[in-house]
Amino acid sequence: MQELINRAKELLADGTVARVLGWKAGDLPFNPEPAYFEKEEDFADFVYDGFCGANLSKYMIEASKLEGKTLVCLKPCDTYSFRQLMKEHRVNREKAYIIGVGCRGKLDVNKIRDLGIKGIESVQGAEIEGSDTLTFQTLYGEKTCSYADAMLERCHVCKGKEHMIYDELIGESRETKDADRFAEVEKIEAMSPEERFAYFQKELSKCIRCNACRNVCPACSCRKCVFDSNKFDSAQKANVNSFEEKMFHIIRAFHVAGRCTDCGECSRVCPQGIPLHLFNRKFIKDIDELYGEYQAGADDEERGPLTSYTVDDAEPGIVAERG
Partner 1 sequence: MQRIGVFVCHCGTNIAATVDVKKVVEMALAEPGVVHAEDYQYMCSEVGQEKIQNAIREKNLGGVVVCSCSPRMHETTFRNAAQKAGLNPYMVEIANIREHCSWIHKDVKEATEKAVILMRAAVAKVNLNTPLKAGESRVTKRALVIGGGIAGIQTALDIAEAGYPVDIVEKTPSIGGRMSQLDKTFPTLDCSSCILTPKMVDASAHPNITLYTYSEVEKVSGFVGDFTVDIRKKARSVDMSKCTGCGVCQEKCPSKKIPSEFNRGLSNRTAIYTPFAQAIPNVPVIDRENCIKFKTGKCGVCSKVCQAGAIDYNQKDEIITEKYGAIVVATGFDMIKLDKYDEYAYSQSKDVITSLELERIMNAAGPTSGHLERLSDGKAPKEIVFIQCVGSRCADDRGKSYCSKICCMYTAKHAMLIRDKYPDVNVTVFYIDVRTPGKNFDEFYRRAVEEYGVNYIKGQVGKVIPQPNGKLLVQGADLIDNKQILKEADMVVLAAAIEPNPDVRKIATMLTASIDTNNFLTEAHAKLRPVESPTAGIFLSGVCQGPKDIPETVSQAGAAAVKAIGLLAKDKLLTNPCTAHSDELLSNGCSQCAHVCPYGAITYEERQVNDHGIREVRRIAVVNDALCQGCGACTVTCPSGAMDLQGFSNRQIQAEVDAICL
Instruction: Note the residues at the interface with partner 1 (CB under 8 A).
Output: 65, 87-90, 221-226, 229, 231-233, 255-256, 303-304, 307-309, 311
Between 114 and 244, whose beta carbon lies closer to partner 1?
A: 244
Between 126 and 219, whose beta carbon lies closer to partner 1?
A: 219
Q: 141: alpha, beta or left, given left = phi > 0 and alpha = psi -120 to 50?
A: left
CA 80-212-120 angle, to 5 degrees, is: 95
Distances (CA, A) of 182 to 170, 196, 279, 282: 31, 16, 11, 8
Work out the angle between the directed axes of helices 247-256 and 277-291 (0-180°, nearest 10).
40
Minimum Å gap between C-beta 309 and partner 1 is 8
Are the C-beta atoms of residues 267 and 111 closer than 8 Å to each other? no
| Residue at 245: amino acid letter | E
Minimum Å gap between C-beta 320 and partner 1 is 14
Between 104 and 255, whose beta carbon lies closer to partner 1?
A: 255
Minimum Å gap between C-beta 229 and partner 1 is 7
Minimum Å gap between C-beta 291 and partner 1 is 14
Between 288 and 300, whose beta carbon lies closer to partner 1?
A: 300
Sorted by sequence, the CB contacts under 8 Å of residue 79 that are 6+ apart come out as: 57, 98, 100, 163, 164, 165, 166, 297
Minimum Å gap between C-beta 272 and partner 1 is 24
Between 192 and 307, whose beta carbon lies closer to partner 1?
A: 307
Minimum Å gap between C-beta 231 and partner 1 is 6
Between 138 and 234, whose beta carbon lies closer to partner 1?
A: 234
Q: What is the DSSP string of 79-145?
A: HHHHHHHHHTT-S-GGGEEEEEE--S--B-HHHHHHTT--SEEEEES-BTT--SEEEEEETTEEEEE
